[in-house]
């Protein structure tokens, strides 16, 4: 059982930072203001994701002087999703953990609204972007990605929601203990279930500096989303194989019919080659599809996600209090 005393923070705010020296002074100012405007005990967890600018130096000095800040320095740039995961593992707040970007696109002030929802009993409050102020190409890519993802994955990932969210301590513990290596935090967050609330907001522009998500990183994120939460790419192989085999069969019937009714119009040998070609392509695809089926099972096993997560139990007419730690097997 966790001991909660008057110094344990109630809410942790996790912020991954990669070369954000231009934004940091304003970010820290706004975080400090949060403490002034409410009697919630905050903990700010800042993660330096191997920045090459002054980010590390700035947050080091904040961490050394202000006990409300926990600062973590990674040995190199591991990427946004890992940096967020580090922050979640380091967060010590008793009630909730909020995840925001460091560039002030996600207003930290929403912490109060989000926390209210958590107190109402929601375990996850995720932000939904009503509008975005980014370049239309990026907006279009994001929009299409989430729609494609939702069409092919087994769980529901809320449309137009990023990592900006607040989760209860319990959900934080569950997510931290998931052993997945390729982390797609917003997917895992959708996967755990519980009562979730989508909070609509207008996404601001980055306060200063450039996006740290290169096109390559963005595609990597999209791949992680698709391959970690969908078996569609593997399953499609078998379907393609069956389709190809059917084509070769139909073509075969067509040639036989033609040979019977118009024997002179069918050239010698040529249709046989075509039929064999399509047929063996089909056979190969079906074989690959079978392998893919095994691979998908291995893939599921190695992800080692818990089979289920119990929300609550009733025993002897008494509701068992929801355990802090996840009790999934």
Count Cβ neighbours within 10 Å for each residue of 271-295 and write b for 16 or more, e otherwise.
beeebeebbebbeebbebbeebeee
CB of 218 to Mg ion, least distance (A): 11
CB of 69 to Mg ion, least distance (A): 21
Using the rule CB under 6 A, is 49 a contact of ligand UDP? yes
Q: Which is nearer to ligand UDP, 194 or 207 (CB)?
A: 207
Cα 227 to Cα 182, 232, 242, 308, distances in angstroms: 9, 8, 23, 21
- Residues of this chain, 167-226, that bind ligand UDP according to CB under 6 A: 206, 211-213
The CA-to-CA distance between both ends of the chain, in Å, stands at 19
Integer Cα distance of 308 and 288 in angstroms:
31
192 binding partner (options ligand UDP, Mg ion, none; Cβ < 5 to 8 Å by kind): none
CB atoms within 10 A of CB 33: 12
**Beta carbons within 8 Å of 243's beta carbon, 6+ residues apart:** 282
Using the rule CB under 6 A, is 146 a contact of ligand UDP? no
- Per DSSP bridges, beta strands 42-48 and 11-17 are parallel
CB of 137 to ligand UDP, least distance (A): 13
Percent of the chain as helix, strand, coil, to the nearest 5:
50, 15, 35
CB of 319 to ligand UDP, least distance (A): 40
Q: Which is nearer to Mg ion, 162 or 241 (CB)?
A: 162
94-133 footprint of ligand UDP as x/- string (CB under 6 A): -------xxx-x----------------------------
Interface residue with ligand UDP, options 62, 83, 86, 153 (CB under 6 A): 83
Quick one: which H or E segment has residue 112? helix 111-120
Quick one: which H or E segment has residue 286? helix 270-303
Q: Which is nearer to ligand UDP, 211 or 296 (CB)?
A: 211
- Residues of this chain, 300-319, that bind ligand UDP according to CB under 6 A: none
Using the rule CB under 5 A, is 161 a contact of Mg ion? no
Using the rule CB under 5 A, is 20 a contact of Mg ion? no
CB of 31 to Mg ion, least distance (A): 17
DSSP secondary structure letter of residue 324: S
CB of 207 to Mg ion, least distance (A): 9
Size of the site for ligand UDP (CB under 6 A): 17
Integer Cα distance of 86 and 188 in angstroms:
15
Query: What does the binding site for ligand UDP look like in residue numbers (CB under 6 A)?
Result: 16-18, 20, 49, 77, 79-80, 83, 101-103, 105, 206, 211-213
């Amino acid at each position: 059982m966790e001991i909660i005393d008057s110094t344990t923070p109630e809410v942790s705010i996790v912020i991954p930072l990669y070369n954000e020296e231009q934004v940091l002074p304003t970010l820290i100012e706004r975080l400090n203001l949060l403490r002034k405007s409410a009697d919630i005990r905050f903990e700010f967890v800042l993660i330096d994701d191997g920045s090459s600018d002054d980010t590390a130096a700035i947050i080091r000095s904040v961490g050394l002087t202000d006990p409300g800040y926990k600062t973590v320095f990674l040995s190199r740039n591991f990427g946004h999703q890992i940096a967020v995961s580090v922050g979640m593992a380091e967060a010590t707040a008793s009630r909730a953990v909020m995840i925001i970007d460091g560039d002030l696109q996600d207003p930290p002030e929403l912490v109060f609204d989000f926390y209210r929802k958590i107190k109402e009993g929601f375990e996850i409050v995720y932000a939904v972007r009503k509008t975005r102020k980014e370049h239309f190409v990026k907006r279009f890519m994001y929009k299409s990605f989430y729609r494609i993802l939702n069409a092919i994955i087994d769980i529901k990932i809320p449309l137009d929601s990023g990592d900006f969210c607040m989760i209860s301590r319990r959900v934080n513990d569950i997510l931290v203990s998931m052993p997945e290596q390729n982390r797609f935090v917003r997917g895992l967050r959708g996967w755990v279930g519980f009562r979730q609330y989508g909070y609509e907001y207008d996404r601001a522009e980055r306060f200063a500096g450039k996006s740290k998500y290169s096109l390559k990183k963005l595609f990597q994120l999209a791949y992680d989303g698709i391959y970690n939460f969908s078996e569609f790419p593997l399953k499609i192989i078998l379907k393609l194989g069956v389709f190809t085999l059917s084509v070769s069969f139909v073509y075969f019937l067509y040639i036989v019919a033609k040979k019977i009714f118009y024997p002179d119009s069918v050239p010698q040998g040529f249709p046989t080659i075509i039929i064999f070609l399509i047929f063996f392509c089909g056979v190969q695809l079906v074989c690959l599809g079978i392998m893919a089926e095994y691979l998908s099972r291995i893939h599921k096993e190695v992800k080692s996600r818990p089979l289920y997560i119990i929300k609550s139990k009733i025993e002897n007419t008494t509701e068992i209090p929801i355990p802090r730690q996840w009790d999934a097997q």
